[in-house]
Amino acid sequence: MSKIKMGVISTVIGAMLITSGCTYTRAISQTNVPSERGKVVEASVERMMFLGIAFDNDDVPKLVEKLRDKCPNGAIRGILTKDLSTSYLIVIVRKTIAQGYCIKENLAADDADTNLKAAELETEAKI
């Protein structure tokens, strides 16, 4: 094999090792899933941290706003939140992804009413 070929292969392997990272899931949470499953909406925030150092986590609350913008005239239910981290060479990328069902506002209200009625019935049954 020529020296040039060896050089190219070494460069490709080196680049692959540097640009690929090990990823892991730190946490997952899921809220109640509605019966009416409309459009799926997804939003995420991510931060690249040199040596894993960050001085605040103020980008994370913006996730709510980003998700809300994806469903302007409705409510979002059945939200799955994933906290992920990917470790590259001297850099860690932290990502939080939220995904849920965008449903019409009246359906969301119906859902809330159903929950309320169920709670009332349960209380009456206890009495």
Partner 1 sequence: MLQIIKQATILGLVIPLSFVLHGCAVLHKAQLGDIDGRSSKNGTPISIKVSETTVDFGEAARIARNLGGSKSGANVLGNAASTYESYFQYGPRTGTPVFNELYARSVPNELAEKCPGGRITDMISIRETRAYPVVKGEIVRVDAVCIK
Q: Tell me if 88 sits within 8 A of 16, measured CB to CB.
A: no
Q: Tell me if 32 sits within 8 A of 77, measured CB to CB.
A: yes
Report the distance separating Cα 123 and Cα 63, nearest Å.
36
Q: Is 38 one of the binding residues for partner 1 (CB under 8 A)?
A: no
Q: Is 79 one of the binding residues for partner 1 (CB under 8 A)?
A: yes
Could you tell me which of 36, 42, 30 has the C-alpha nearest to residue 108?
36
Q: Is 31 one of the binding residues for partner 1 (CB under 8 A)?
A: yes
Q: Is 83 one of the binding residues for partner 1 (CB under 8 A)?
A: yes
Instruction: Provide φ and ψ at 20, rounded to 5°.
Output: -95, 145
**In the complex with partner 1, which residue's Cβ is closer, 20 or 29?**
29
Q: Is 93 one of the binding residues for partner 1 (CB under 8 A)?
A: no
Interface with partner 1 (CB under 8 A):
26-27, 29, 31-32, 53-57, 60-61, 63-64, 67-68, 71-79, 81, 83, 94, 96, 98, 100, 105, 108
